[in-house]
Amino acid sequence: MINIENISKSFGGHTLFNKITFRVNPRERVGIVGRNGHGKTTLFRLITRDEDFDSGSITIPKNYRIGCVQQQLTFTEDSILAEGKKGLPEHERDQSWKIEKILTGLGFALNDFNRHPEEFSGGFQVRLNLAKALLSEPDLLLLDEPTNYLDITSIRWVEHFLNNWPHALMLISHNRNFMDSIVTHVVGIHRHKAYKIVGNTEKYYQQIAQDEEIYEKTRINDEKRKKDVQIFITRFRSKARLANLVQSRVKALNRMGKKEKLEKLDNLEFSFRSLPFKSKYLMSAHGISFAYDKKNKDKKDFIINNFDITIGARERICVVGQNGRGKTTLLKLLGGTLRPDKGEIKYNAAASKGFFEQTNVKSLNDNYTVEEEVLSSQPDVDRQMARNICGGMMFGGDEALKKISVLSGGEKSRVMLCKLLATPVNLLLLDEPTNHLDMESADALLAAIDAFDGAVVMVTHNEMFLHALADRLVIFRNGSIDFFDGSYQSFLDKIGWEESPKKQGSGSKGLHAKKTCPQKNKQKSKRKRSELLVKRSQVLKPLKQKIKKVEQKIESCEKRLCELNLKIMDASHKYEGGKIAELSKEVHACNVKNDSLYDELEELTDTFAEEEAKIDQS
């Protein structure tokens, strides 16, 4: 259990947290949500003591281990396998199968295990650090955007892995589908405060909207009542016979606290400029092939080989699959930034394409402001339109006058979106456009793509986007490119994804199993597995049931606390002192009961972990 109490933190006069308080209990999987720049990553840095808070306290039990993905891409071992083993606890360093299983799940092939870490791209080096963090099995695991650099099969593997995580977890992710499939609780950073609820992000945002609606209605009612009281005082102040009534109204007015109007939060609201298009098809590609190695022209290893596609006027085509297989290359070919070695690409004469690619931020002029970059994107864009687009992408006011050179990677990515929004097109080519966007921004982008009156070809690993948008899929896997006509859900139902890239790497002994009699080993393994299953069922199942019952009681108790707090708020507005006292007693009793339940839950989870460890070692 980790307690965060009254933490405040500011940077250069800008307040991130104002006395935030919550706790993370054993086995809770907590999603951290909030807008970009509102302090999600800073919260993690405060917990790991990489940043100091201004006031408050963070209480961490003795010998409590906190694990996170290291940002430094520096490695001391000469192979992926040896470097990965450093993540294992000291007493498990000989259990190679554990690191093999996780590396395989994260997309490393078996023949990668003996390669040096520095031979891999930055994305795969980040995956190696993620593997080390998962292997260390800390009491609390902190994951900040773990799906960055992961392809869709690896994301699904991590999702399954984290759903079986036996300890506490805190997760930051812009991928709502991924987060909602894992978390048991959500902590939202909102208006410099932290709010914790049981449930997923949808429940959290509904709760915030409801609370703010109640607050605003209460504020308006209070203002009206204060105005009425003030009118009464002014009207009858000179009437001697009403002096007592006037005086009581004055006291009541002084007791009324002032509720400040909630500051309006900027939301990303934007739409793409669509260029009218009346023909049936925008473009087609026939027999296109491409390889990066141009030296041996007769022996090219084509990353795209003999590929055909025709794109209709309003189609939504999503490109999915493992990383490094050619998804971005295909988009560059269709967008015209790369030329095919073979085949041809034909565009309709009225086709106008807009291409968003992460690495295109290098094309931005460091000496320009955000506004100037948008103005330079299209001749018909005037200053007012540029300002409107900048404001829609959260570069309002003076933010639009920032130089490109001082922007973060995420801000530069938003500038690229600004430039695309300023350009009238009828074909959008988007390469992972949700990177560097928070959940609210991703939701706005999804709505804008859905409303766009043109065709969209998009590379994405975000399953929420796939479910919402895809009419057709281009699937990169097993060294080939396949098509699927239909929705993403239909694809999952009919074909689906493999569990891991190399299933032989996920066995209990992986690469190092001895070659003995297969049938005998199979029977022995089957019998042992059967015995373990029976033992696990007899010992762990009752504990699981008890844990589930306690968790249900906690959820019920927290729900009741939420109801009581709303009732107290209502009673305070009506000045019902007796009712407030009665409700406060019930709140106290509920808190006492909740604390007791959390203690019981901690004891049960410790017992479960001990019994599970005994069984696994037997």
The predicted-structure confidence for 490-504, as pLDDT tens digits, reads as follows: 999 888 886 544 433
* Nearest residue to 604 via CA among 553, 537, 561, 545: 545
347/220 same-domain check: no
| Residue 505 belongs to a domain | no
| Residue 474 belongs to a domain | yes
35/151 same-domain check: yes
The answer to whether 318 and 330 have CB atoms below 8 angstroms apart is no
Q: What is the reported pLDDT for 564?
A: 83
33 pairs with which residues across the strands? 188
476/350 same-domain check: yes
539/394 same-domain check: no
340/312 same-domain check: yes
| Residue 500 belongs to a domain | no
Q: What is the reported pLDDT for 241?
A: 65
372/462 same-domain check: yes
Looking at the structure of the chain, the number of domains it has is: 4
- Give the rounded distance of the alpha carbon of 494 from its chain centre: 27
Domain finish residue from 206, 227, 247: 206
What is the biggest distance separating any 2 CA atoms in the chain, rounded to whole angstroms? 108
| Residue 483 belongs to a domain | yes
157-183 pLDDT tens trace: 999 999 999 999 999 998 899 999 999
426-439 pLDDT tens trace: 999 999 888 777 78
d(CA 164, CA 272): 41
- Which two structure tokens, joined as six digits, stand for 111? 């023949």
Global confidence as pTM: 0.70
d(CA 608, CA 8): 36
Confidence label for 532 from pLDDT (cuts 50, 70 and 90): low
323-365 pLDDT tens trace: 878 899 999 999 998 999 999 999 999 999 999 986 677 788 8
**SS3 for 522?**
helix
Q: Which amino acid is at 487?
A: S
- Which two structure tokens, joined as six digits, stand for 411? 């801000």
Neighbours of 113 (CB within 10 A): 20
- Which two structure tokens, joined as six digits, stand for 473? 């899929």
d(CA 326, CA 459): 11
pLDDT higher than 90, residue 194: yes
* Nearest residue to 2 via CA among 20, 26, 23: 23
58/185 same-domain check: yes
158/227 same-domain check: no
Crossing angle of helices 409-421/383-392, nearest 10°? 130
374 pairs with which residues across the strands? none
Confidence label for 546 from pLDDT (cuts 50, 70 and 90): confident
Give the CA angle between residues 26, 597, 178 to the nearest 5°: 40
Confidence label for 442 from pLDDT (cuts 50, 70 and 90): confident
- Which two structure tokens, joined as six digits, stand for 236? 């009858």
Q: CB under 8 Å, gap of 24 or more: what pairs does 439-444 form?
A: 439/33, 439/174, 439/176, 439/201, 440/35, 440/267, 440/268, 441/36, 441/268, 441/394, 442/174, 442/176, 443/176, 444/267, 444/268, 444/269, 444/270
What's the domain range around 93?
A: 2-206
- Phi and psi at 211, nearest 5°, equal -60, -40
339/409 same-domain check: yes
Q: What is the reported pLDDT for 459?
A: 94
- Which two structure tokens, joined as six digits, stand for 453? 């009156």
Q: What is the reported pLDDT for 414?
A: 84
The answer to whether 145 and 68 have CB atoms below 8 angstroms apart is no
| Residue 508 belongs to a domain | no
186/62 same-domain check: yes
| Residue 409 belongs to a domain | yes
317/170 same-domain check: no
Q: What is the reported pLDDT for 591?
A: 80
Q: Are strands 455-459 and 427-431 parallel, antiparallel or unpaired?
A: parallel
The CATH number of residue 445's host domain is 3.40.50.300
d(CA 192, CA 208): 13
Q: Average pLDDT of 70-89?
A: 87
Q: Are strands 168-172 and 353-356 parallel, antiparallel or unpaired?
A: unpaired
| Residue 561 belongs to a domain | yes
| Residue 510 belongs to a domain | no
Q: Find where tokens 């919402």 sit.
A: 468
Q: What is the mean pLDDT of the chain?
A: 83
Neighbours of 121 (CB within 10 A): 11
Confidence label for 534 from pLDDT (cuts 50, 70 and 90): low
192/287 same-domain check: no
9 pairs with which residues across the strands? 17
**Highest averaged pLDDT of the listed ranges 243-252, 400-409, 491-500:** 400-409
Q: What is the reported pLDDT for 524?
A: 44
